[in-house]
Amino acid sequence: MPRLILLAPMEGLLDHSLRDVLTRVGGVDRCVSEFIRITDQLLPLRVHTRIVPELLAGGRTAAGTPVRPQLLGSDPGCMAENAARLATLAPPGIDLNFGCPAPTVNRHRGGAVLLDEPELVHAIVAAVRRAVPVAIPVSAKMRLGHRDSGRMIDCARAIADAGAAELVVHARTKVDGFRPPAHWDRIAEIRAAVRLPLVANGEVWNVEDARRCLEVSGCDALMLGRGIVADPGLALALRGERVPEWSELLPLVAQFWHRIAGHVAPRHRAGRLKQWLNMLRRRHPQAQAAFDAVRATNDPLAVAARLFGAAPVHHPAHQPAPLARA
């Protein structure tokens, strides 16, 4: 099974609150944050620490899992300047986004649309690599392409030749979105073309998916996204360890609720919780009752009363112990 398990960046879902919960469950070696958008200015450090507050705690979650901040942008010079400033916070690494499929991001020349321009991809990675201390790894994440996979190998080579230390490949194009299947065999083609550690990503929902993905791609590392959000014990299952039961996850659902109360506007809190509960139903049938209890309300007081028997109070000092392993 995998040598390395990474937690994926998922804009609008997998932020620092959910990273905290999922890494408490265990089995994850490293996280990548949701992207920090770089346009035409040098961002103050508070922007980086707002999106990746783990940077204020040694770049690790409360469970001790390293988090690499991810930058997204198309201007090599501006990306380099912002990476250099970010490096002053001593992150465990810096990741670069060449995979976001969001139309708004792509219209502003960010994410997967850059895969049409391998030369620019190379320039961005090279500029960031030169701008940060050699001790800070620079990695990247890409899809198979924008509209098609015609420049897939060119982009992977551009990233490798520019000095990246690692490449995550989401085995779909931007046009594919998140529709199955993920084309793990195309990752094997990239492996044959570049001398760079590769991490396979896409459509891994269970142990059997992981086994087939590693076999077909030839990789020994995986990045988990929706699969581990739906099944927080997935990383442990891949390591052959005991997987938590629903009763053990419930306190972490409550912790997630308390955490988002500290940084999510009241009108959006219920939506964030329902989003996660909706995905948890895929693996845990018991999550259906929790989802049904709050489906019809967006009132934080009602949500807290129905699920947790109390009003939503943010307790930043409350740090439940990680789940015990068998």
Q: 225 vs 5, 128, 271, CA distance in Å?
A: 11, 26, 19
Cis peptide upstream of residue 285 (ω within 30 degrees of 0): no
Catalytic residues, which ones? 100
User: In a 3-state reduction of DSSP, which class is residue 219?
Assistant: coil
| Separation of alpha carbons 101 and 95, rounded Å | 17
Q: What is the separation of C-alpha 192 from the centre of its chain, rounded to a whole number of angstroms? A: 26
List CB contacts of 317: < 8 A, sequence separation 6 or more. Answer: none
Residue spans of alpha helices (H) in the chain? 16-25, 45-51, 76-87, 103-107, 118-131, 152-161, 184-193, 207-217, 226-230, 234-238, 246-260, 266-280, 287-294, 300-308
Strand partners, 60: 66
Torsion of CA 291, 294, 300, 306, to 10 degrees: -100
Residue 10 is given by DSSP the state B
| Separation of alpha carbons 99 and 173, rounded Å | 8
Contact 61, 19 (CB under 8 A): yes
Q: Please, what is the Cα angle at 112 between 111 and 115, to 5 degrees?
A: 115
Strand partners, 30: 6
DSSP state string for 105-152: HHHTT-GGGGGG-HHHHHHHHHHHHHHS-TTS-EEEEEES-SSSSTTH
Name the residue with tokens 């408490």. 24
